[in-house]
Amino acid sequence: MDLMMRWKTSRYVHVLDVPEATDRKVAFNSLTLQAFDIEPAEARLLERFKQPDGLPEAPGDEARDLVASRLIVAADDDAPGQAAARLNAVRQAEFRRGAGRYRTLRLSLTERCNMACGYCFQQKLYPDQQPRMSMELLESTVEWFVDQAEGQEVSVQYFGGEPLMEWNLIVRSHELLAEAETAGKISGFHQSITTNGTLMKPSRAKWLVERDFGVTFSFDGPPEINDQQRTFKNGRGTYEKAAEGLRNWVAAGGESGILMTASSFNVGKLKEIVRWFVEESGLEPQIIGLNSPQPISTGWETGGEELARTVFDIWQYVEARGITFHGPGAYMPGNLQLEKPHSDNCVSGRPSQSGGDAWPVYVSADGRRSLCLVHHRDARVEVTPEQPMKQAGLNWHKSHATIKDCDSCIASQLCGGPCTLERILWNDRLNPDRCGFMQEMARLVLVHD
Looking only at the bridges linking them, the beta strands covering 25-29 and 34-38 are: antiparallel
In a domain, 2, yes or no: no
| Contact criterion met (CB below 8 Å) for 440 and 309 | yes
According to the model, what pLDDT value does residue 127 have? 61
DSSP conformation letters of 225-240: HHHHHSBBTTS-B-HH
The residues, any chain, with a CB within 8 Å of residue 218's CB and separated by 6 or more, are 194, 195, 196, 197, 230, 242, 258, 259, 260, 261
In a domain, 120, yes or no: yes
- Mean pLDDT along residues 159-186: 97
In 10 A of CB 175, how many CB atoms? 12
In a domain, 204, yes or no: yes
Q: Does residue 243 share a domain with residue 133?
A: yes
The residues, any chain, with a CB within 8 Å of residue 312's CB and separated by 6 or more, are 329, 441, 444, 445, 448
According to the model, what pLDDT value does residue 247 have? 98
Q: How far apart are CA 117 and CA 303, in angstroms?
A: 22
According to the model, what pLDDT value does residue 351 have? 56
Of 38, 54, 79, the residue at which a domain comes to its end is 79
In this predicted structure, the answer to whether residue 2 has a pLDDT above a threshold of 70 is no
- The pLDDT mean for the chain works out to 88
For residue 208, give the amino acid letter.
Answer: L
Q: Does residue 95 share a domain with residue 75?
A: no
Domain boundaries, position 29: 7-79
Of 30, 57, 79, the residue at which a domain comes to its end is 79
Of 19, 53, 79, the residue at which a domain comes to its end is 79
Q: Does residue 44 share a domain with residue 108?
A: no
Q: How far apart are CA 361 and CA 376, in angstroms?
A: 10
Q: Does residue 160 share a domain with residue 39?
A: no
Q: Does residue 107 share a domain with residue 67?
A: no
Write the CATH number for 319.
3.20.20.70
In terms of Cα–Cα distance, which of 370, 374, 321, 313 is closest to 348? Answer: 374
Residues 227-250 pLDDT 10s:
888 888 888 889 999 999 999 999
Residues 387-434 pLDDT 10s:
899 888 888 877 666 677 889 999 998 987 787 888 888 887 888 899
- Mean pLDDT along residues 155-176: 96
| Contact criterion met (CB below 8 Å) for 382 and 421 | no
Q: How far apart are CA 132 and CA 134, in angstroms?
A: 6
Q: Does residue 178 share a domain with residue 133?
A: yes
According to the model, what pLDDT value does residue 386 have? 86
Query: Whole-prediction pTM value?
Result: 0.89
In a domain, 96, yes or no: yes
Question: Structural domain tally of the chain?
Answer: 2
| Contact criterion met (CB below 8 Å) for 53 and 6 | yes
The residues, any chain, with a CB within 8 Å of residue 40's CB and separated by 6 or more, are 22, 23, 24, 25
For residue 440, give the amino acid letter.
Answer: E
In a domain, 211, yes or no: yes
Q: How far apart are CA 167 and CA 83, in angstroms?
A: 48
Residues 189-229 pLDDT 10s:
999 999 999 999 999 999 999 999 999 999 989 999 988 88
| Beta bridge partner(s), residue 8 | 73
According to the model, what pLDDT value does residue 135 have? 98
In a domain, 60, yes or no: yes
According to the model, what pLDDT value does residue 205 have? 98
Q: Does residue 276 share a domain with residue 244?
A: yes
More confident residue, 301 or 353: 301
In terms of Cα–Cα distance, which of 327, 442, 419 is closest to 33? Answer: 442
Residues 352-366 pLDDT 10s:
444 555 789 999 999
Q: Does residue 173 share a domain with residue 73?
A: no
Q: Does residue 424 share a domain with residue 312?
A: yes
In 10 A of CB 185, how many CB atoms? 17
| Contact criterion met (CB below 8 Å) for 446 and 406 | no
In a domain, 323, yes or no: yes
In a domain, 84, yes or no: no
Q: Does residue 74 share a domain with residue 95?
A: no
- Mean pLDDT along residues 73-89: 90
Q: What percent of the chain has pLDDT over 70?
A: 91
Looking only at the bridges linking them, the beta strands covering 13-17 and 382-383 are: unpaired
Q: Does residue 439 share a domain with residue 341?
A: yes
In this predicted structure, the answer to whether residue 122 has a pLDDT above a threshold of 70 is no
DSSP conformation letters of 245-263: HHHHHHHTT---EEEEE--
According to the model, what pLDDT value does residue 354 have? 47
According to the model, what pLDDT value does residue 345 have? 67
- Decide: residue 442, CB within 10 A, 0-12 exposed, 13-18 middle, 19+ buried: buried
Alpha carbon 405 to chain centroid, angstroms = 22
* φ, ψ dihedrals at 259, nearest 5°: -120, 130
Cα separations (Å) of 425 from 75, 115, 305, 329, 362? Answer: 38, 29, 21, 21, 18
Q: Does residue 159 share a domain with residue 23?
A: no
The residues, any chain, with a CB within 8 Å of residue 187's CB and separated by 6 or more, are 151, 152, 153, 181
In this predicted structure, the answer to whether residue 1 has a pLDDT above a threshold of 50 is no
Q: What is the enclosing helix (H) or strand (E) of 85?
A: helix 82-97
In terms of Cα–Cα distance, which of 411, 342, 339 is closest to 94? Answer: 342
More confident residue, 271 or 385: 271
